A and B are shown apart, each in its own frame.
Chain A
Amino acid sequence: MDAAFTSRHPRLRELLLTLKILSRNPSAVAGALIIGIMAFMGFSADLLAPFDPIRINLSERLNPPGWGHLFGTDEMGRDILSRVMHGARISLRIGFMVVAAAGMTGSFIGAAAGFLGGRIDNLIMRVMDVVLSFPPLVLAMALAAAMGPSLNNAIMAVAFVMVPKFARIVRGEALAVKEMPYIAAARVSGAKNFWIIFNHILPNCMNSVVVLATLTLGETILIAASLSFIGLGAQPPAPEWGAMISVGRKFVMDQWWYATFPGLFILFTVIGFNILGDALRDVLDPRIRR
């Protein structure tokens, strides 16, 4: 793209600059690479996975890792590698759905609280404090249990728990942005509150939201897997990593491979999001930048 084009689109220029700086940051590249591999595996699992992840094959029960089954098989004779690959799609989907829902709701609530101020701000933030008075896993567990054990309910429960994180960060930013002269200008020219929130406040909070979203993706995948592990998320025979470990736990003393591989995949996916998130924070913080 030529300079004339990007100079007319400052946000695009900003994005390109950010990507350029990121590509020189080794942990950002490593994180993006891990997530990329997981996403590729998840999306092409139908083509790449050597076996059907659900179909039972009792003659191949609990085979150790070998050439036929690289990661071994489970108690139903299903290929663990194929299940783990399909699991990548489930876990990434959970992560993105939760972060999209919680990120949008939380950002809007936070922007409204910070921008409108006064009683509304006070009320909203006290409600957020209540949600933050529970350890995330505990509240998500109570909500998921109340709604009934299913993957969709677990997603909603985790999303609910994550909302205050976004609301808090965006509120803080909104308090600063609100004092900028262009907000006063917008107001003088007759802009409505909602218009200002969407067109000025939220876009200017995006950097923090992107960093938080990346780090929250990792945390979400951990919490969702934990819920599945205690039986409140994905239900068998779905090849979800946490649910696989939950069953594999019974076999861990003699069939080590069963619980080990799904756990390694959770570990690496979350590491990917965490190191990418840390790198993003360094790059997007204007004070450290250059």
Chain B
Amino acid sequence: MRILRYILRRLLYVLPVLLGVTILVFFISHAIPGDPAQMIAGPKASRQAVEEIRRSHGLDKPLPIQYLRFVSGLVQGDLGRSIRNHRPVVEDLKDFLPATLELTLAAMILCLGVGIPLGILAAVKRNKLTDHLTRVFSVFGVSTPVFWLGLMLLLLFYRNLGWLPGSGRLDIMVQPPPQFTGMYTLDALLAGQWATFANALWHIILPAFCLSYVYLAIITRIVRSSMIGVLGQDFITTARANGLSEAIIVLKHAFKNSLIPTVTITGLSFGELMGGAILTETIFAWPGMGKYVVDSVNYLDFPGIMGFTLMVSLVYVLVNLTVDVIYAFLNPTIRY
């Protein structure tokens, strides 16, 4: 029962944050220099057409009224129309979301699949060579500009070695799999098209690694320090005294107890990965929301930029809400 109450309170707490997010995005879009009606109408529109748009879009109303219209539009899934292609921004984002989600999830799998074992290894071999090497690996991770790393990976693995493809989600000759989720790897698996799956996997390796490196580094550090904390506790000594094997002590007893900080940082990373996708997708010509927003920036297509910003923030808030709920299950002592 207490856990339900906690989840409910946590949900209630999200509402004002979401409200604040919409207010902030609304104000940013109103800080744009120049006349928004003119921008929608285009540079060649007549005065009359601009006035018409000002009235029909409610841009002549006071700001609070405009804000209410903005929010009621949002609730109905209306993010405005793109200046670039005159399509509803929501439609555009829907088209590009699966590619970004696929890339982000692949990066997340890499982060956890490599970061956790690496962190455990560093903690067990504390102050040995392995530990120092992981430290160097992590310092580079948090200090490398993602876009530059992407270029260097392309230069090495695509241009010089020719091992991996350099752009896109599939070879041009390969047909995309039938669409269920929009994620090519998953869809190909579901349809049983192994060749397409291999091709999609082949394409995602470089961008996913590029995107994951920063958080891989952070997760490695977090797992290491939290494992070191747990390994020093009395119950580990007791387990050793009882003659349990080192593998069981490390993997079962210590790792389980070091999970909480790992889960927190995983939640935070997910949102940041979507931010990092802006740069990674641009470098690898990956047709996702990140590339979409950079194209929007180049056209100064504000509805596109703001729609993306709002969408990412929404995902960020919801993922962290989920993390807090998982948290409550992992650690029964955490309650409001």
Partner-B contacts on A (CB < 8 A): 126-127, 129-131, 133-139, 141-143, 145-148, 218, 222, 225-226, 229-232, 242, 245, 248-249, 252-253, 256, 259-260, 262-263, 266-267, 270-271, 274-275
**A92-B16 Cα distance, complex, nearest whole Å:** 37
Find chain B residues with CB under 8 A from A145 CB.
297, 300, 302, 305
Partner-A contacts on B (CB < 8 A): 16-17, 20-21, 23-25, 28-29, 31-33, 139-140, 142-149, 151-152, 154-155, 159, 271-272, 274-276, 278-279, 282-283, 293-294, 297-298, 300, 302, 305-306, 308-309, 312-313, 316-317
What distance in Å separates the Cβ of A139 from its nearest Cβ neighbour in chain B? 7
Inter-chain contact A130/B20, CB cutoff 8 Å: yes
Inter-chain contact A266/B20, CB cutoff 8 Å: no
Interface of B is mostly: helix
A142-B309, A249-B151 provided; 4 other pairs, C-beta below 8 A? A133-B21, A133-B316, A245-B151, A259-B151
| Central interface residue in A142, A218, A226, A266, by most chain B CB within 10 Å | A142
Residue of A nearest to B301 (CB): A145
Find chain A residues with CB under 8 A from B152 CB.
260, 263
A263-B312 in contact given A142-B306, A148-B33 (Cβ < 8 Å): no
Inter-chain contact B143/A138, CB cutoff 8 Å: no
Inter-chain contact B282/A271, CB cutoff 8 Å: no
| Central interface residue in A232, A248, A253, A260, by most chain B CB within 10 Å | A253
Find chain B residues with CB under 8 A from A275 CB.
139
What distance in Å separates the Cβ of B318 from its nearest Cβ neighbour in chain A? 10
**A138-B100 Cα distance, complex, nearest whole Å:** 14
A222-B155 in contact given A130-B20, A135-B271 (Cβ < 8 Å): no
Inter-chain contact B145/A263, CB cutoff 8 Å: yes
Find chain A residues with CB under 8 A from B16 CB.
126
Contact of A267 among B143, B274, B293 (CB under 8 A): B143
A141-B297 in contact given A146-B32, A230-B282, A274-B142 (Cβ < 8 Å): yes
Inter-chain contact A129/B17, CB cutoff 8 Å: yes
